[in-house]
């Protein structure tokens, strides 16, 4: 469920860091919290980094190491000056009374911060991730409460992050739960195979629509039209020449890389023998 508001875009490295913090939590800790870093514009909030913040909480009180949070943010600014504090995260499914208190602190560090919850307990069989914005409610001058309204959450990644995501996907089905990195040529072959499978699925859907087996969906038609318009019109011969040229360049780079590695390894052996 979501309401109108900025879209929260989360990168894979953020989710991996949150899960790692949860796995390394102190004994007896029910959840972990941390600071979210990223960028903000009119229509979206992009979460690109995060770090955990030590805290202790009981039924009656909560204590957060604010000094640690400030020092960590200062160190992050030296590495990524464009990333600012955009909110905070907590593992778990619910928003507690302590969450309101922690949110008040982050409201002083950021303008209208978001609160991200990550259900590491997998209560619904999967890791539900929700984002919220807070708003005060109540009678002015009297009792005032806080209402958390949900936002739309999307997952995005850079091209370099896609390699890690694909590798994690392959480790799910591996008996040892581990998988080595593949070569550049294997990655190109795998990507080409996936594109071919997707094209087969699209063509099968189009044939079913034309034959009347499946009802036409206007939204799907618009997506397909945008896809076709983005593909430049290139004669098959020119496309084949361009593809072969790029493959030859890739083979040459791979060969030079392997040759360099062999030379370095041979040099190290000669140094040890001398």
What is the pLDDT at residue 1?
45
Left, alpha or beta for 87 (phi > 0: left; psi -120 to 50: alpha)? left
Report if residue 46 sits inside a domain. Answer: yes
pTM (2 decimals)?
A: 0.66
Position with higher pLDDT, 169 vs 270: 270
For the chain, the average pLDDT equals 83
What is the pLDDT at residue 159?
75
What is the pLDDT at residue 195?
86
Report if residue 246 sits inside a domain. Answer: yes
Position with higher pLDDT, 192 vs 145: 192
What would the mean pLDDT of 1-26 be, rounded to a whole number? 82
Residues 120 and 240 in one domain: no
What would the mean pLDDT of 125-135 be, rounded to a whole number? 83
Asked if the model's pLDDT at residue 269 lies above 50, the reply is yes
Q: How far apart are CA 169 and CA 152, in angstroms?
A: 24
User: Which residues on adjacent β-strands are paired with residue 145?
Assistant: 137
Domain encompassing residue 270: 234-274
What is the pLDDT at residue 240?
84
3-state secondary structure 108-121: HHCCCCEEEEECCC
182-226 confidence digits (pLDDT tens): 666 677 777 788 888 988 999 999 899 899 888 888 888 898 888
**What sign for the dihedral angle of Cα 165, 171, 177, 183?**
negative
Asked if the model's pLDDT at residue 100 lies above 90, the reply is no
Residues 132 and 194 in one domain: no
Q: Is 163 exposed, middle or buried (0-12, 13-18, 19+ CB in 10 A)?
A: middle
Give 35's pLDDT tier (boundaries 50, 70, 90).
very high
Report if residue 146 sits inside a domain. Answer: yes
CATH number for position 122: 3.40.140.10
Q: How far apart are CA 57 and CA 33, in angstroms?
A: 11
Query: Of 31-40, 164-173, 185-194, which one has max mean pLDDT?
Result: 31-40
Report if residue 166 sits inside a domain. Answer: no
What is the pLDDT at residue 250?
79
50 contact partners, CB below 8 Å, separation of at least 6: 14, 17, 18, 34, 35, 36, 37, 89
Residues 32 and 97 in one domain: yes
């Amino acid at each position: 469920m979501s309401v109108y508001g900025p879209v929260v875009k989360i990168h894979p490295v953020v989710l991996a860091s949150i899960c790692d913090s949860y796995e390394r939590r102190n004994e007896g800790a029910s959840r972990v919290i941390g600071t979210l870093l990223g960028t903000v514009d009119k229509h979206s909030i992009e979460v690109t980094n995060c770090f955990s913040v030590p805290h202790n909480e009981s039924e009656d009180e909560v204590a957060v190491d604010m000094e640690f949070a400030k020092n960590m943010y200062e160190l992050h600014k030296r590495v990524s000056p464009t990333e600012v504090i955009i909110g905070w995260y907590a593992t778990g499914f619910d928003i507690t009374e302590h969450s309101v208190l922690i949110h008040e602190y982050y409201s002083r560090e950021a303008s209208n911060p978001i609160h991200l919850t990550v259900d590491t307990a997998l209560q619904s069989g999967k890791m539900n991730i929700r984002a919220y914005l807070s708003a005060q409610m109540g009678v002015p001058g009297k009792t005032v409460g806080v209402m958390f309204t949900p936002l739309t959450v999307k997952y995005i990644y850079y091209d370099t992050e896609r390699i890690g995501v694909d590798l994690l996907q392959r480790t799910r089905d591996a008996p040892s739960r581990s998988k080595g990195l593949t070569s550049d040529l294997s990655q190109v072959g795998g990507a080409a195979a996936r594109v071919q499978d997707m094209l087969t699925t699209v063509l099968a859907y189009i044939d079913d629509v034309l034959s009347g087996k499946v009802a036409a969906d206007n939204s799907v038609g618009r997506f397909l039209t945008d896809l076709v318009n983005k593909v430049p019109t290139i004669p098959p011969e020119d496309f084949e020449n361009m593809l072969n040229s790029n493959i030859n360049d890739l083979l040459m780079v791979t060969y030079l890389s392997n040759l360099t590695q062999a030379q370095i390894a041979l040099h190290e052996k000669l140094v040890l023998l001398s």
